[in-house]
Amino acid sequence: MHHKTDFKLKSSPLTLSMDPGSDEVIVQNLYVSIDPYQLNRMKSYSSSQERAAYAIAISPGEAINTYGVGRVVASTNPKFEKGDIVAGLPNWGEFTLVKAGGMLNKLDSIGFPLSYHIGILGVSGLSKETDLKSTLKRYFTDGIDIYFDNVGAEMQAEAVSNMNMNGRVAVCGMISEYTDDRNRATPSMMDVIYKRILSTTCGLLRTGKILVLADISDGVETIPSAFIDLFTGQNIGIKIVQERVALWN
């Protein structure tokens, strides 16, 4: 069993100076998730370290990343501006430097507390976007109700992932597959299922039929004890740490 003394809190200077064109983003962490799977990352070997990118092994002295929500305080990435609320994989800490290509997405709170997006609504922040999916989102901001498909493959997959609930697809052809049968259409059913779950869950939250249980502690210094509490039955609901950092103007 791990103990609080197994963790060390480190401090280092923070600079907002980044090379132009580096596509880096500095995020002020607002809420970070404390999850049991981190224990497997700390082991010398666990099969889960090979199955999921977010569960890779952690070496002693290395910063621990997790799912979290934060605010952009500086950016050289044209997709993000100062003040944007984002979700991604920040470090257990007060600030995170997200390198080019790092997992980070803008987060729409849809009227709920940001802490909800760590727990009950947490999956929404980590949906990875391809260029095509981003383009469809930009031109069909309210989603797609009807899609006439004669392309197939990636086009069909991304269109389906942007469909509204109860949307319809008319399949005319699969031209992208005619000359290369490796281009099979593989729509992500997780996108379809998640939209249904999100819609239902939000409705139940707004009517008070679902109550959220979250155990939220304050300050980065509480992270070690918050993690240990997961394995001693001290937490109620999902364990979250809220950072006590003054907001940047």
> Please, what are the domains in the chain?
1-120+214-249 (3.90.180.10), 121-211 (3.40.50.720)
Cα of 235 vs its chain's centroid, Å: 23
pLDDT at residue number 124: 45
The Cα–Cα gap between 62 and 58 comes to 6
pLDDT at residue number 126: 46
In sequence order, what DSSP letters do the residues of the chain get, joined into one string? ---GGG-------------TTS--EEEEEEEEEE-TTHHHHTSS--THHHH-GGG----TTPPPB--EEEEEEEE-STT--TT-EEEE--BSSSEEEE-TT--EEE---TTS-GGGGTTTTGGGGG----HHHHHHHHH-TT-EEEEEESS-HHHHHHHHHTEEEEEEEEE---HHHHS-TT------HHHHHHHHHHHHHHHHHHTTSS---EEEEESGGGHHHHHHHTTTT---SEEEEE---PPP-
pLDDT at residue number 226: 92
Weakly modelled stretches of the chain, pLDDT under 70: 1, 51-53, 123-131, 173-193, 245-249
pLDDT at residue number 119: 83
The Cα–Cα gap between 236 and 163 comes to 36
